[in-house]
Each structure stands twice: as C-alpha cells, then as structure tokens.
Amino acid sequence: MIFERLCIIGVGLIGGSLSLALKQAGQVGEVVGYARTAETRQQALDLGIIDVAADTLAEAVRDADGIFIAVPMGAMESVLADIAPHISDKVVMTDGGSVKTPVVKAAYAELGDKVQRFVPGHPIAGTEKSGPNSAFATLYQQHQVILTLLTDTADDAVVTVRAMWEAVGAVVTEMDPTQHDAVLAATSHLPHVLAFNLVDVLAQHDDCQKVLRYAAGGFRDFSRIASSDPVMWRDICISNRDAMLALLTEYRAGLETISAAIASGDEDYLLSVFERAKAARDTRFTE
Ligand code: NAP
C-alpha cells in the first residue's frame, strides 16, 4: 500500500478521481478530504470518494503520510501556507495544478525545509466537468503526468509520487516548470481561451439560438471545452500570464494576416496556411 492515510485537498474532478483510483487499486488505507465548502465535503463523503471529511486544513493533514492538493490555481499558495505548520517531516506532498512555475514559487515561499517533501505534478487528463460528481476511477489510465521536480526534492518523495501515479495507470514524465508552462499554454490553455472567446462572441449575436441550433461537427467539438469551469480557467490564464501573452500575440498576428488575405481574396496565402497546418496536424500529432 502506498499511503496509509492520504489527505486530498480539493475533492473535485482531479482530487476525487485520484482517490477513487487509488482505492480501486488497493493502494490507500484511509482517505481524509478537505474542500472549501461543507457541501462539497459532504458530497465527497456520500460518493465514497473520501472516508473522513475534515473541517479544517490543520485537521486534514494531521497524521497524513501523503497529501494531494487539487484546488484551483488561485488557492494553491494559501493552502500551502495553511498546511505548512501542521505537516510531518516524513510526509510526501504533491499537487495537480495546471501551471507549475507559480506552484514551485509558492512551495519555496511557504514550506521552508519541508519543500524537500513536495513533488509538483500535473496530470494531463481531465474533462470539462468539475466537482465530486464528475470524478471517476479510470480518469488517469494511459494519461501522462508531468512532474516538475525541484532541485531540493527528496528522492524517496519522487519515488513515492511516481509509484502513486503508475498505480492508477498513468505514464510519468519529468519536465522543467517553465518549459511545462510554455508547452501547456500552447496545447491546452490557449485552446481553452479561444473556445471561450468564440462561444462568447457568437452568443452575443441576436440570432445566437439559430446559429447554435445549426452547430454541428467541428463547432461542437471545438466549443465543448468552453463549458469548462470558469474559475479554474480564469486562474490558469492569470497564473500562466507570460506564456499566454506571448502565444496570444503570435496568434493575433496570424489571425490578422488571415483576415487581410480573406479581405483581399488572396487564395494562395489561405491555401498555403491551411495546407501547412493540415500537414503539421497529419504528420506531427500522434494520439
Ligand atoms: P474542481 O472539480 O472544481 O475541484 C476543485 C476542488 O477544490 C473542490 O473540491 C473545491 O471545493 C476545492 N477548493 C476550491 N477552493 C478551495 C480553497 N480555497 N481551499 C480548499 N479547497 C478549495 O476542479 P478540478 O478540475 O478538480 O481542478 C483542480 C486542480 O487541478 C486545478 O488546479 C486545475 O488547474 C487542475 N487540473 C484540472 C484539470 C481538468 O481538466 N479539470 C486537469 C489537470 C489539472 P468547493 O467545491 O467547496 O469550492
């Protein structure tokens, strides 16, 4: 068994699914859960995601040998600050936050010497749903988890966190936090912003209902991620500000050129962009 007493802080899709998966794999004894509201804590209890609901963070981490933090990015630093005085020297801590440089910075700022026990991580798995109700045990199977190790992270903590993810079927890789944030800005964070913006722009049209009624195929696929949790995505954009702004500038320049080509009827330019993109998509992306 990997953990005798695992504390999950944030018992929604990411935290809840990890708990269910570890329980199913028989790799955890007792799971203690904490969430911001009593309602969510009760929901997690009712769904069997956690065995015990703690009313405070201090109570949640007491005697835990493992801690998984899965709260929105905006709450990461305050959670680390609140648990720091109450954690043991032997605990293994990790998180599921989508942006890694701010988590690494917060860990150094708040954890003192215990930063050695912290292994920052990001499961590249999810859905557009949130809350305990959306959690399911197979979420991480065959999905990647990126660990962004600190220079001070203790080896045994890394071994334990790797084992935890592998026990739920994930494939673990390691990356530098800045590189992680740039890669994820491109593959996940920017696409979410584009989807939110497109749906928002279309929803303001007077004939929005009619437009959306005829939405099919591509629009349905592309817009699905616009039903993701707004708080989570607000936090991700602000947390990954630099990488997002660099990409948005590049993207805007591309759109301007496409817009000018459409205005001037520049068929060759449009064809060259679309052919280049199709070739890149067809040859370089593997599922
Ligand atoms: P979620 O389903 O909305 O769950 C978030 C949980 O955090 C809820 O239990 C919530 O409790 C709790 N929470 C919120 N603010 C808190 C605070 N200040 N203190 C303690 N608990 C708090 O979100 P999620 O999708 O699991 O995402 C969790 C983390 O994983 C985020 O950092 C996100 O960036 C990352 N992530 C998400 C995905 C994805 O696809 N969803 C994928 C990879 C990583 P209440 O309900 O009581 O507010």
For the chain, the domains span: 3-175, 179-284
- Please give the pLDDT value at position 218: 79
Is the Cα dihedral 229, 287, 137, 219 positive or negative?
positive
- Supply the residue whose CA is at minimum distance from atom 45 of ligand 1: 36
**179-284: what fold?**
6-phosphogluconate dehydrogenase C-terminal fold (1.10.3660)
Distance, in Å, from the CA atom of 101 to the CA atom of 184, rounded to the nearest integer, reads 12
pLDDT in tens, the chain (287 residues): 999 999 999 999 999 999 999 999 999 999 999 999 999 999 999 999 999 999 999 999 999 999 999 999 999 999 999 999 999 999 999 999 999 999 999 999 999 999 999 999 999 999 989 999 999 999 999 999 999 999 999 999 999 999 999 999 999 999 999 999 999 999 999 999 999 999 999 888 877 777 777 777 778 888 889 999 999 999 999 999 999 999 999 999 999 999 999 999 999 999 999 999 999 999 987 65
Report how far residue 251's alpha carbon sits from residue 194's, in angstroms, rounded to the nearest whole number.
Answer: 10
**Dist CA 82 CA 166 (whole Å):** 29
Spell out the alpha helix ranges (H) of the chain.
13-24, 38-46, 57-61, 76-83, 101-111, 155-167, 177-184, 190-203, 208-213, 217-223, 230-239, 241-264, 267-284
Which pTM value belongs to this model?
0.94
Strand partners, 52: 32
Place of tokens 């933090």: 69
Instruction: Give the number of the atom of ligand 1 that is nearest the alpha carbon of residue 57.
Output: 20
**C-alpha dist (Å) from residue 90 to 27, 30, 86, 113, 274:** 18, 17, 12, 12, 54
Domains 3-175 and 179-284 share a fold: no
Which residue in this structure is represented by tokens 């939405």?
215
* Protein residue with least CA distance to atom 6, ligand 1: 10
The pLDDT of residue 287 is: 57
Residue to probe by mutation, ligand 1, list 49, 71, 240, most atoms within 8 Å of CB: 71
Residue among 37, 95, 232 to mutate when testing ligand 1 (max atoms within 8 A of CB): 232
Whole-number Å distance, alpha carbon 10 to ligand 1 midpoint, is 5
CB 205 within 8 A of CB 211: yes
Q: For residue 286, what pLDDT is reported?
A: 62
DSSP string, 37-78: SHHHHHHHHHTTS-SEE-SSHHHHHTT-SEEEE-S-GGGHHH
To which CATH superfamily is domain 3-175 assigned? Answer: NAD(P)-binding Rossmann-like Domain (3.40.50.720)
So what's the pLDDT on residue 220? 83
* Ligand 1 shell residues, CB under 6 Å: 9-15, 35-37, 40, 70-73, 75, 79, 96-98, 122-123, 126, 130-131, 229, 232, 236
